[in-house]
């Protein structure tokens, strides 16, 4: 979903020739510099974990929607805006603006500020919309706080970044997967907006603020090294401080005359780039969900799959059941051929969705499940063994289907998933999260499908070859010794034929097809001398002075595969059923008089009249 930002990033990069001159060197900002009536939010730059196993870039500034003004950090040039809901990134970022401030001396590199989730299209105090390449002044109004896009609650998402595109070139998001606080791209591509700047230079000599200087409390944002001098060169590392450690000290200027260091109580020095100044505790009131039940993070505690699902937008979990009622089973049977099993249904009112086995499986739609939406097949759902398929509702009332994979089966695990939405009556995959390239469920399902197709092709070719060899051998045997007893026949060609385990060569024959699919020559000889057959015709006709009764029988091996597949999906069983490795056999009985009704089951005496592959004609009485 976030890849839309890549193409736009290329477009933005082409606009940078109009960048402003070097910005001034004021200190960095306070919350009120950007939103005058805002406060510091729960999510700061480098907050981890945030919305699951992710690292947050930039800061959230909560403030009332529609009335809270948003001000430009410094003067600069607008290089990107989202001013329409039709923008492909609107559902994520909402209305937004990005401003180029040029090379900021204080930060030592080109800097851009971004403002996400505005109430409406970015605009000045007089109501004029901001446009690309327009200049804005420091503290000039550029919009109002809102909760558009994927925002949960009224707030501004603000970043000081050193790349021009909407999303990080590395993350393709405003979140980084896992703990990215000490990663190269996190340290390189952003500056903490709340970072304090160094005091005035003092001739390149490290001097503290004096005895009367304040002692400050700071938090280590990424692993920091305490040194014996305020310099990275010519100094000795005294110890390493893990992220999250809180230390106290006074600020001094580094030996280079530019950098800022904290002198600790151990008379060591820690570089400011790894620190964030602690502030007085702020009473943070948890922001209520946009609507009851709509959350960005869901725990799958009610399923065998343990872990959490983290989404880019608030979703509400719908109730479902693995049991199908009679009407749902009947619909699946009516739609599918061969018959597929109904495996579950959504029970929340207003969402008429059924999950079944995918009888339409193909290379393009290899998912093992088919979703039936409003009585019509809507598309396949990719899934893997041990995973879960869940139904959700988004804020617009649209149905969302999520197929997730189990990982370490712990409550805190952030699960990978595929997210589908209904568009134009079809189920469309919108997001694939946390799967390695080529390892998503659809990729694995497709590989399994192609392997099963290839196996079926090889099995069919081997079966055809075996039958041809048996036919030639029967012809040769008939010419040499036509009366040779069937009991002396070799069974070597039958050893790999699954139909032979069901063929019965004595007593009442329940499935004529099994015998001919096992060994045509032997079956011909067997029925030539007469046999007892369990017969249940589906149709009766009178033709050529004979009563003609017809039935079709499915090979027992295929029937068994279908029964197994109803209980638990299996690729080989699915291929055996859907690819018709063994086709149904048509059995025709010729009677001299009316002896049986359509649908009636009787044991008849039958002798072979003729045989052509897949069609057996018997004289019956």
> Using one digit for the tens of pLDDT, what is the confidence trace for 459-515?
777 777 776 776 777 667 666 654 444 444 444 345 467 778 778 888 888 888 888
Which of the given ranges, 71-75, 104-108, 147-151, 169-173, has the highest pLDDT on average? 71-75
Q: What percent of the chain has pLDDT over 90?
A: 23
Q: Which fold has domain 486-620?
A: OB fold (Dihydrolipoamide Acetyltransferase, E2P) (2.40.50)
pLDDT computed for residue 301 by the predictor: 61
The Cβ of residue 291 has, within 10 Å, a number of other Cβ atoms equal to 10
Helix (H, G, I), strand (E, B) or coil at 210: coil
Kindly tell me the sign of the dihedral angle through the C-alpha atoms of 304, 306, 310, 315. positive
Q: If you average pLDDT over residues 254-268, what whole number do you get?
A: 76
pLDDT computed for residue 304 by the predictor: 62
CATH of 4-191, one of 3.40.50.720, 3.30.2350.10, 2.70.70.10, 2.60.120.10: 2.70.70.10
Of 94, 147, 153, whose CA–CA distance to 286 is shortest?
Answer: 153
Instruction: Give the pair of three-digit tokens for residue 558.
Output: 């295929």
The Cβ of residue 173 has, within 10 Å, a number of other Cβ atoms equal to 17
Q: Which residue has the tokens 């497709």?
A: 446
Beta strands in 327-381 (DSSP E): 342-346, 353-357, 369-373, 376-381
Instruction: Give the pair of three-digit tokens for residue 353.
Output: 């969705």
Q: If you average pLDDT over residues 100-121, what whole number do you get?
A: 89
Kindly state the DSSP code that residue 130 receives in the 8-state scheme: P
Q: Is the pLDDT of residue 578 over 70?
A: no
Q: Which residue has the tokens 């009367």?
A: 212
Helix (H, G, I), strand (E, B) or coil at 586: strand
CA distances from 430 to 51, 364, 447, 491, 550 (A): 20, 16, 21, 55, 50
Instruction: Give the pair of three-digit tokens for residue 506.
Output: 């004595």
Q: Which residue has the tokens 């009442």?
A: 508
Which residues share a beta bridge with 591? Answer: 547
Q: Which fold has domain 216-277?
A: SH3 type barrels. (2.30.30)
Question: pLDDT-based confidence at 617, cuts 50/70/90?
Answer: very high
pLDDT computed for residue 330 by the predictor: 92
Helix (H, G, I), strand (E, B) or coil at 198: coil
Question: pLDDT-based confidence at 570, cuts 50/70/90?
Answer: low
Domain boundaries, the chain: 4-191, 216-277, 295-435, 486-620
pLDDT computed for residue 516 by the predictor: 85
The CA distance from 519 to 469, in Å, is 10
CA distances from 361 to 300, 322, 331, 442 (A): 28, 21, 18, 12
Q: Are 373 and 392 a contacting pair, CB within 8 Å? A: no
> Which residues, in sequence order, are CB contacts of 95 under 8 Å at separation 6+?
82, 83, 117, 118, 119, 120, 121, 122, 143, 146, 148, 149
> Which residues, in sequence order, are CB contacts of 114 under 8 Å at separation 6+?
58, 96, 97, 98, 99, 157, 158, 159, 161, 166
pLDDT computed for residue 289 by the predictor: 46
Q: Is the pLDDT of residue 287 over 70?
A: no
Q: If you average pLDDT over residues 168-195, what whole number do you get?
A: 82
Instruction: Give the pair of three-digit tokens for residue 314.
Output: 């608030």
Q: Is the pLDDT of residue 34 over 90?
A: yes
């Amino acid at each position: 979903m976030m890849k839309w930002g890549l193409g736009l990033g290329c477009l933005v990069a082409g606009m940078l020739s109009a960048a402003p001159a070097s910005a001034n060197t004021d200190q960095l900002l306070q919350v009120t510099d950007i939103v005058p009536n805002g406060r510091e939010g729960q999510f700061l730059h480098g907050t981890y974990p945030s919305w699951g196993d992710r690292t947050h870039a930039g800061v959230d500034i909560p403030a009332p929607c529609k009335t809270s003004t948003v001000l430009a950090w410094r003067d600069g040039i607008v290089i990107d805006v989202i001013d329409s809901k039709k923008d492909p990134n609107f559902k994520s970022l909402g209305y937004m603006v990005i401003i180029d401030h040029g090379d900021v001396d204080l930060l030592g590199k080109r800097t851009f500020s971004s403002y996400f989730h505005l109430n409406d299209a970015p605009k000045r105090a007089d109501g004029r919309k901001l446009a690309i390449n327009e200049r804005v002044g420091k503290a000039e109004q550029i919009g109002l706080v809102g909760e558009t896009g994927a925002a949960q609650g009224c707030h501004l998402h603000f970043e000081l970044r050193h790349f021009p595109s909407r999303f990080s070139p590395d993350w393709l998001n405003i979140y980084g997967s896992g703990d990215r606080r000490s990663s190269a791209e996190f340290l390189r591509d952003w500056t903490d907006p709340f970072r304090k700047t160094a005091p005035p230079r003092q001739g390149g000599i490290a001097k503290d603020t004096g005895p009367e200087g304040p002692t400050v409390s700071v938090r280590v944002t990424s692993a920091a090294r305490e040194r014996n001098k305020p310099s990275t060169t010519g100094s000795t590392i005294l110890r390493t401080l893990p992220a999250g450690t809180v230390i106290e000290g006074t600020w001094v200027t580094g030996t280079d005359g530019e950098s800022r260091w904290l002198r600790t109580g151990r008379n060591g020095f820690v570089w400011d780039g790894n620190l964030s100044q602690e502030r007085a505790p702020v009473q943070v009131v948890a922001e209520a969900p946009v609507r009851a039940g709509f959350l960005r993070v869901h725990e799958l505690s009610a399923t065998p799959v343990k872990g959490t699902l983290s989404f880019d937008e608030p979703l509400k979990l719908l109730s479902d059941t693995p049991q199908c009622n009679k009407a749902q089973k009947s619909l699946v049977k009516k739609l599918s051929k061969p018959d597929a099993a109904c495996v579950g249904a959504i029970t929340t009112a207003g969402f008429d969705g059924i999950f079944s086995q995918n009888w339409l499986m193909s290379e393009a739609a290899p998912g093992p499940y088919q979703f039936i939406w409003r009585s019509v097949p809507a598309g396949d759902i990719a899934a893997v063994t041990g995973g879960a398929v869940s139904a959700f509702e988004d804020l617009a009332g649209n149905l969302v289907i999520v197929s997730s994979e189990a990982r370490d089966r712990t409550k805190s695990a952030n699960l990978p998933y595929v997210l589908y939405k209904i568009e134009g009556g079809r189920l469309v995959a919108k997001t694939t999260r946390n799967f390695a390239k080529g390892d998503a469920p659809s990729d694995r399902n497709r590989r399994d499908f192609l392997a099963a197709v290839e196996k079926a092709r090889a099995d069919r070719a081997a079966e055809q070859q075996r039958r041809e060899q048996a036919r030639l051998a029967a012809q040769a045997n008939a010419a040499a010794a036509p009366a040779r007893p069937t009991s002396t026949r070799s069974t070597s060609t039958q050893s790999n034929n699954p139909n032979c385990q069901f063929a019965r060569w004595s007593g009442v024959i329940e499935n004529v097809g099994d015998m001919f699919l096992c060994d045509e020559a032997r079956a011909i000889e067997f029925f030539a001398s007469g046999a007892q057959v369990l017969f249940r015709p589906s149709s009766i006709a009178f033709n050529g002075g004979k009563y003609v009764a017809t039935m079709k029988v499915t090979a027992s091996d295929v029937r068994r595969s279908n029964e197994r597949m109803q209980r638990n999906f299996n690729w080989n069983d699915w291929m055996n059923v859907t690819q018709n490795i063994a086709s149904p056999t048509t059995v025709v009985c010729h009677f001299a008089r009316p002896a049986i009704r359509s649908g009636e089951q009787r044991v008849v005496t039958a002798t072979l009249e003729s045989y052509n592959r897949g069609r057996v004609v018997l004289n019956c009485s």
